Structure 1
């Protein structure tokens, strides 16, 4: 009977040759894990460990070489320490030395007195038939040296050479910074803290000349004194306060007198809204300032050499020879007080700014004047708008406006690859209204209005051209031409066109 092939398991056929080869491989320990025995795998593992130990023994460094290597590492570490000590000594030495930087500015003006009547002619030249002269003037040729002195001192020396025959002191002071409550103390010739437009740098102001009220009630701004500057950690509030001599020493740097007539000044400002998200394109500024002053009431009737008088005057928003609004020295004036308000609202390219300043004068009868107390006041408001979209930055630490940075600079150059490259800079237009009243009782210092249209072309952040067209009037003026009461005042109208080319560094 034949076997059932379908139900029989297949028989694996192995040749003798293959069998012998497998036996040889097993003996050599080369079979894979599933084939090799456990004993063979363990032996292979021990052989690998032994091989690693042999390699370790071969990699062992001789003791002499090891000690030499340690010595070289010690030398490197010692050299590195000496280098670090040298760097520290150099840094400490630098901290013990004063640091400084040189800066300056040049302002070149052209003023054309387009129209003036007999009253304006008399205020300017003293002759109703002699009109004001057109002119080119260097308004400012200013150099300054400023720096730090270890550990927390600073200094600034600023001189103006617009009149080469007689240089003028501007900021000349020393001081201490990093004082408690973010404060700085300055001692020397510096700006009295009243009038926003005066506290702004002339490099950044929107109009060529300062408003009537600001220049009238803080003429030339700087006096010899001591002033503290500070601000809160969040930069919400800023303050300045100090005491100043009243006499202007900008041309001789000296004060002489039997009594130190002086004033106490203060200013508190705030920026209750400042849009950090937009980079300061939106903000609001509010401030108030004031002063109390004791003056030399005897005026020209005494033999004093000083000029600590109560006198308020200004030019007509241009560089005229004479002050057209002028109380002259007020005889009998022993004291005066001031109070001012400031505001700025900036929304993108648009800025609206205004100030108002009051001055109250107490006096006794002297030199033919009545002795009545006096009230003078004035203010301005302006709007500025950038046609090219820039904005006027604001410095929250000082409470003043800052440097405008055009989106592109003005330039016109030949390109290396041919053609011409150009940039247009920034362009802004502005309009300001001024009011001043220096006529009260028997003092006819002049009352007037003025409108100024301005166009500012910013070539770069450090250079620009300002063009101002001014229409104004003076009523009940002329006191500046007389040291006695006037029976009637002088009236006049004027139109002035001015252009300023300016650069700073």
Structure 2
């Protein structure tokens, strides 16, 4: 008999022995003259019958690791385990009965939210700035601490290609407001995605970016002034090219900010059409998107109510021909403010934006122009922009969302943590550290309009603890020049022009889920 055949027979015998031990049966092997084998209940019996003689060097005794439990014992254990699982299931079912659930089986729902807690201080400000903020040149702006954002919302899908989102803002205390509130459809022919409801108007990259991902605590002069709070009630289409290089959005909106009012009431609809075309001209796939470049152009035509204060039959008395913003920080008053522009009939806006990101370094800039046509006085031209440079000291990068043409969530190489070790001492992680510098400019003075000229430099530090939590630190130095402290009430010959400079410090702790 060859050696290979002997080895094969040995394996067959080992298999029979293992099966016999498992089922408590005797194993036989008559081939090639092997004697019948008894049942193998334990290692002791195996050794007694001399099975060791069949084993190769280093091979385990068949059945050596099999215990003496019977089939009945094993079934009993399974029944006990099943009973325990049933008790756990019943307990979990009772607990889940109190949780929120979708209204019907065809819908989905995802809960989300964010909390931004701020502290702002004003170490120094000149009399002109004091007058803008407090109406008294001898009283400086007051420090403040509180919630900047405290949002909670749900979003999901409905049959068969519908989507919805509702997001509420509770940072105002008892004065709750909605933010995103819309329904719509996806995968439509030609228009792709169509949303109806309160949503962001499609201009200003820094506004289209989520506040969860922006580099600085507050948005620049011109971005917030020309698109205050961003969201309006409207109908908007969203599309993207197959290669993800191009994305676009366009729609029709009402200009009134209704998130604290619920609806708009007026005989003059004050409609606007707006759109944005964006192109990710370069995206480094090999590095996972650590390098990319983007440009976009956006614009709007808006019909404002030129006689809102004198001939508004619905009584709203509000014209949207006004542009204003706080000092890129939280304050009681808007430090740049055109007031309602007399005779503002309609305006056009053109916005240009660009982004270049190479590894840990990012350069971003925007510039916007507004041309206001008037029925009283000469037309008005307002403009402004910003540029910033940011860098990750720890080597991370700001991801780019090619589907929306906006910044995405930063993921630290190592999350921040600080814990006690079981063996003594502490364990810690560094998180991601980013530094940034921004220059911002806006000129809201033209003809008989004196909204002011604002310039500022903001230095920022971002400490990303995790992808969902970070701290922000901002220092702002700025100047406001030739601002009508009466907010246009002294036009056409303003007599209370003020100027001044200021220093501001801000800190924010933010999380989202």
Contact 1:182 1:232 in 2 (8 A): no
Matched, 1:501 2:512: no
Shift of the alpha carbon at 1:257? 0.7
CA distance in 2, matches of 1:286, 1:113: 36
Matched, 1:362 2:373: yes
CA distance in 2, matches of 1:480, 1:156: 40
CA distance in 1, matches of 2:233, 2:453: 30
Contact 1:299 1:329 in 2 (8 A): no
Matched, 1:335 2:346: yes
2:244 matched residue in structure 1:
235
Distance 1:95 1:273, change over 3 A: farther
Matched, 1:414 2:420: yes
Shift of the alpha carbon at 1:440? 0.4
- Secondary structure in 2 aligned to 1:406? coil
1:178 matched residue in structure 2:
187
TM-score normalised by length of structure 2: 0.78
**Pairwise mapping of residues 349-428 of structure 1 onto structure 2 (< 5 A)?**
349-365=360-376, 371-428=377-434
2:355 matched residue in structure 1:
344
CA distance in 2, matches of 1:180, 1:387: 45
Shift of the alpha carbon at 1:420? 1.5
**Pairwise mapping of residues 67-216 of structure 1 onto structure 2 (< 5 A)?**
97-180=106-189, 183-216=192-225
1:62-96 deviation per Cα after TM superposition (whole angstroms, max 9, x unaligned): xxxxxxxxxxxxxxxxxxxxxxxxxxxxxxx9995
Contact 1:157 1:173 in 2 (8 A): yes
Matched, 1:289 2:298: yes
Matched, 1:323 2:329: no
RMSD over equivalenced CA pairs, Å? 1.5
1:435 matched residue in structure 2:
441
Distance 1:479 1:194, change over 3 A: farther
- Secondary structure in 1 aligned to 2:133? helix
Contact 2:485 2:496 in 1 (8 A): no
1:371-429 deviation per Cα after TM superposition (whole angstroms, max 9, x unaligned): 11000000000000000000000000000000000001000011234332110100000
Matched, 1:300 2:300: no
Q: Which moved more, 1:151-160 or 1:254-263?
A: 254-263
Distance 1:390 1:480, change over 3 A: farther
Identify unmatched segments of 5+ residues in structure 1: 1-92, 366-370
Contact 2:221 2:325 in 1 (8 A): yes
TM-score normalised by length of structure 1: 0.79
Matched, 1:462 2:447: no
Matched, 1:272 2:281: yes
- Secondary structure in 2 aligned to 1:301? coil
- Secondary structure in 2 aligned to 1:99? coil
CA distance in 1, matches of 2:267, 2:400: 43
1:11 matched residue in structure 2:
none
Contact 1:445 1:480 in 2 (8 A): no
- Secondary structure in 2 aligned to 1:353? strand
1:489 matched residue in structure 2:
497
Matched, 1:447 2:447: no
Shift of the alpha carbon at 1:347? 0.1
Shift of the alpha carbon at 1:97? 1.3
Contact 2:290 2:397 in 1 (8 A): yes
Shift of the alpha carbon at 1:307? 2.5
CA distance in 1, matches of 2:350, 2:106: 43
Shift of the alpha carbon at 1:479? 5.4
Shift of the alpha carbon at 1:168? 1.3
2:28 matched residue in structure 1:
none
Aligned residue-pair number: 408
Moved runs in structure 1, 4+ residues, more than 6 A?
Answer: none
